[in-house]
Structure 1
Amino acid sequence: VLDDELPCVHYQMLLLGGSVRVADYATFGSPELAAAVMEALDGRTAALMANHGAIAYGADMDAAAELAELLEWACGVYWHARLLGTPRELDQEQRDAVIAAALERRYGTTHPIDEEDRG
């Protein structure tokens, strides 16, 4: 029921591609809805569908389910923040810093602990 995208208010949302777009409303099962969802998903792994719900995809069903849960959590974070005031969206510089830090630390990957990682 929102027309606006869900802003990137937490760095974990970068796994969704950043802010989450809302696909325009179209009747369920229609080619128009499919096209609107594909447009909203461009460069993203999740989208909201106006007056329908949400969609997420990943490398497999487990990955897609994890992203769907992340989207639901992010919606809750945003909703609660809106109740308290104006949520603060991460700007591009902050997003870039998160990506750089994750790459530097090999965050999210399995690797042996190096001596430099211990200190």
Structure 2
Amino acid sequence: MMVRGIRGATTVSQDEENEILRATTEMLLKIVEENHVVPEDICSVFVTTTADLTATFPARAIRMMHGWELVPLMCSLEIPVQPSLPKCIRLMVHVNTEKSQKDIVHVYLNEAKILRPDIIRS
């Protein structure tokens, strides 16, 4: 079994707690669904936000999900390179899997779809 990274990114329209929590939950659920993983498969989740999101920790959304209480989470700020996509939340989900790199499905939602059009599956 290998440890693979699954990337995800999304955006919110405003720096508002409920919107950040909803968007983070939506993105993680899509990653889990597309890659057929469960919390027990997850080694850790690294969460970043752009500096314009300060209303809450996106990791709170994951911590509130049933079955995710023991998954190690870490939040950090993205490097503020300009021009960068504003109001962006990114996930790097480290998962134990038998899948090859080419079989991993990375999830980009909302305005974040512009970040990696080369790896987005329609």
So what's the TM-score if we normalise by structure 2? 0.30
So what's the TM-score if we normalise by structure 1? 0.30
Quick check: which one's strand share is greater? 2
Between 1 and 2, higher relative CO (CA 8 Å, sep ≥ 6) is seen in 2
Quick check: which one's helix share is greater? 1
| Larger of the two Rg values belongs to structure | 1
